[in-house]
Structure 1
Amino acid sequence: MDRAEVPEKRADALAPGWLSRALGVEIVRVETVEVIRTVATKVRFLALPADGAPALALCLKGLLDGDEATRMGGPTMVKEADFYGLVAPHVAVQVPHHVTSVIDREARQAVVIMRDLIAQGAQFCSALDPFTADDTAASLEQLARLHAGAGLLANRPWITRRIDDFARRPHLSAGQLQDLLDDPRGNGLGARTSNASRLLSALVPLAERDGTRAQFLVHGDAHAGNIFRTASGPGLIDWQLLQAGGWALDVAYHVAATLPVEIAAREERRLLDHYLAVMRAKGCTMPDSDTAWREYREAMVYGFYLWAITRRVDPPIIHAFTARLGAGVERLGSFELLGV
C-alpha cells in the first residue's frame, strides 16, 4: 500500500501511532528485540495490540537514521517493497511473510514490515557461515524457483537490467576503485585481477553479451548473508538488487560467495549442472552444458565488481568475498573470455 509517511528515524518507525496506521491495528506498546545495521536498518520487535491480542513478532526494514548518502539508496528499498507486494506472491521462492510496505514513490523511500522469522524458528546465515556444496545446491534450487518466474518480467518494466547501469555508469572511477583493490581486499589476487581499469572494462562486454541472452528474474545479491534456513529448507531475503538479467549472474556469484575457494573450484561444474537440471525440470529452456559453463565463467565478474566496490560492510566480510570472487575470476579466465 502506498502512503506518503515513510519515517526517517527508527524511533518514529517504532512509535505505536505510526505502526497502528501502517498495520491497520491499534498498537499500544512496542518492545525492541534486536537492531541490525548494515546499509539498511532491520529491527526485530514485538507490537502489542490494544485489544489484548497476542503480541505481533515483526521485523521492519528501512533506511533509518542514515546520512544523506544512505537515503540516496531509497529506490532500492522501493524495489524491495515492490518485490514483496508484486512479485513474491507469484514465485515459489521461500521468503519472509510480508505484512505490509509503506511506500512514498515521490520521495523514493519505503519501509517493509515482515513477520519475524527468528521468532518462528528460522536461522539466518551470516555472510561467512560455512556452506557445504550440498547447502549451496539447496539454495541454488531457491534461485531456480525465482528464475523460473521470468515470465513476470513482461509486465513489470520497473525490474530493470542493473548490469547495464554498472557498465555505463560505474559506481566509482578507476582510480577510486584501484584504491579499494589496493587495500587488504585485494591481497592474494594477481595484479591483472586486481586491476581496476580491467575490471571496469570487463563490465561492458559482460553487459552486452548478457543482454543478448534469455532474461530471468535475478536476485542480484545472493551471498550467504541473504539466506535463511527453516525446517522446510532455505529461503532468500534482501531484494534490493532485484533485476532482469542472465541466470549466470546469480549462479556464479552464489557458488563463489558461499563456498571456500578450494570447494568452489572442485564442485562448481557439478553445481552448475544441478542448477541446469532443476531449471529444465521446471520447463525452462536452458543452454547446453558447455555453453552454460562459458556463461558462468564470464558472469563471475559481476559478483567480483559488487564486492570490489563495497565499503559499508564489515571489512572481514568484504575481504573474504572479494578474495573468493576474485579467485573465481582468475580460476575461470573471466577477463580473458570477455576480451579484456
Structure 2
Amino acid sequence: MGNPNKNIVVHRPKDLSVKWAQRIVNRFAPDARVFGVDVYSVDVGTSTRLRAEVHHDANGAVPARWFIKTPSLALKPRLITAVPRFLHKEVSFYRSLSAGIPLKLPRILAAESRFGRGSTLVMSDLAEYDFRPGMAADALTYDQASRVITHLAQLHGHYRNKPSLLHGHRWLNGFSHQMENHMGTLMAYPFMKRGLHQAGGLIGKKLHRPALNYAVNRRAIKQLLNTDAKTLVHYDCHPGNIFWAGAEPGFLDWQLVRIGEGIGDVAYFLATALEPQLRRKHEKSLLDQYVEQLANTGAAGLDEDNLLRRYRMHLVYPFEAMVVTLAIGGMMQHETNLELIRRAAAAVEDHDSFAMIKA
C-alpha cells in the first residue's frame, strides 16, 4: 500500500475532502468507503485545530470523529511557530517516538510533514472514547495534580540519564530546538516588556525589573536550566494539554518535546494548573511524591534538596511563556492567558525564583 501517511497534508478546512479522508481510512480498512466529511469545529491558536465527522463504512476499524491539527490560519501565530517547525516536531514525535512513551496518548490515524508544504496530524477525537479534554484555565484538584505528577515521574524516570533510549532522535534538540531558542532570545526583551504592561496589576511591580533582567540574559539562563540530569520532557505541561480517561490523565500537544530537566515539567505544571492557595498547601507533598515516584522507576543519584532548588529556578519559564504569549496575542484565549499569568506570577513570587537564578 506504500506510505500510509503520504499526501495527507492540508492547509484549511475546505481541504478535508472525501478523497483526503479515504487515503487515511485505507490505512486501516483498504476495502472501506468514505461517503462524506463534515467539519463542525475550527479553533485557531498556535495551530489550527479542526474537528470533523467522517462518514464511512469501516465501523470498528476507524473512528467516526477526527481531530486534525494544521499550521495556524492566524498570521502571527503561524509566523512564530513555522520557523522552528513546531508541528513538524510533533509529527516526528508521534511517528518515531510515541510508541515507547509510558503515558496515555491519543490514537493517531495519520501524520505527515513535508518540507515547504506544511504538516498535518490526524487523531481520533477524544470524545470518541469518552475522554474529557482539559481546558487551559482548569484549576485542578489535589488528587488530579497527584495523578499527573505520578505520570510525569514515570515518563522522566523511564528516560532519565538513558541516552541510548533516545539515540537516533536528533530532531528532539535539533534544528527546531535551536531556532526556538534563537527566536526566543531575540524576542525576549520586547515581548517581556510588552507583556508586563498588558498584564497590568496581575504582575506585581517588584517582578518587573527581575523579569526584564531575565529577558536580557535569557540565553545564559536557558543553558543554566539545562545542566542537571537529562530526560525526555513535554515542556508545555499546562491543563489544556492534558486529557482525562476517567480519573487518569493523558497528554496532548507534543510540539515542544525535547531532552531536558524533568523537574522543569513539574514546575510548569504546578505553576499553571493549581490555584496559588492550593499549590502553597500541597506543593511540598507533591514534590516529595515526584521524588518518591522517580526513585520507584529506578532513577539513581536523586538529591531531593537539589531538585527543590531546580524546581524553584524552573518556575521562571512558565512565567515567561505566559507573559510572552500575551504579548504576541492570538495564541491563547485572552482570559485564559491572564489566569495562567496570575498563577505563574504567584509561584515565581512565592519562591523568589528570579533571585534564585541570579544567585
How does the TM-score come out when normalised to structure 2? 0.85
* Structure 2 counterpart of 1:145, one-letter code: Q
Amino acid at match of 2:244: R
The count of residues paired between Structure 1 and Structure 2 equals 337
Counterpart of 2:56? 49
Identity of aligned residues (%): 23
SS of aligned partner of 2:51: strand
The corresponding residue for 2:141 is 132
Kept in 1, the 8 Å contact 2:133–2:240? The answer is yes
The residue number in structure 1 matching 2:335 is 316
> Are residue 332 (structure 1) and residue 351 (structure 2) matched?
yes
Higher helix share: 2
Deviations 1:233-275 (A, max 9, x none): 1111011111111112110010110001111122111111111
Gaps of 5+ in 1: none
Instruction: Report the TM-score, using the length of structure 1 for normalisation.
Output: 0.90
Distance in 2 between the 1:169 and 1:156 partners? 23
One-letter amino acid matched to 1:326 = A
Equivalent-residue separation in structure 1 for 2:240 and 2:116 (angstroms): 29
User: Would the aligned equivalents of 2:90 and 2:253 in 1 still touch at CA under 8 Å?
Assistant: yes
1:250-308, Cα deviation, whole Å (9 max, x unpaired)? 10010110001111122111111111111111112353221111000000011111111
Alignment of 1:1-340 (within 5 A): 3=6, 6-12=9-15, 14-24=16-26, 26-49=33-56, 56-63=64-71, 65-67=73-75, 70=78, 73-74=81-82, 75-104=85-114, 106-107=115-116, 109-150=118-159, 151=162, 152-160=165-173, 162=177, 165-166=180-181, 169-170=184-185, 172-183=187-198, 185-195=199-209, 196-201=211-216, 203-231=218-246, 233-285=248-300, 287-310=302-325, 311-312=329-330, 313-339=332-358
Check conservation: 1:137, 1:271, Cα contact below 8 A.
yes
Q: Distance in 1 between matches of 2:58 and 2:182?
A: 54
State the SS of the aligned residue for 1:194. helix
- Does the 8 Å CA contact 1:127/1:224 hold for their aligned counterparts? yes
Distance 1:110 1:275, change over 3 A: same
Q: CA deviation at 1:23?
A: 3.7
Deviation at 1:228, TM superposition (A): 0.7
Cα RMSD between the aligned structures?
2.5
Deviations 1:126-177 (A, max 9, x none): 1112311221111122222322342333321110185995478425252342
State the distance in 1 between where 2:10 and 2:99 align. Answer: 26
| More moved, 55-64 vs 116-125 | 55-64
Q: Aligned partners of 1:99, 1:73: CA distance in 2, in Å?
A: 23
CA distance in structure 1 between the partners assigned to 2:58 and 2:307 by the alignment: 56
Counterpart amino acid of residue 189 in structure 1: I
How far did residue 59 of structure 1 move? 1.3
Structure 1 residue 198: Cα displacement: 1.8
Change (3 A) 1:4 1:32: closer
The CA deviation at 1:188 is: 3.6
Structure 2's unaligned 5+ residue stretches are none
What is the letter of the counterpart of residue 240 of structure 1?
Answer: Q
* SS in structure 2 of the partner of residue 317 of structure 1: helix
Tell me, yes or no, if the aligned pair for 2:137 and 2:273 is still in contact at 8 Å. Answer: yes
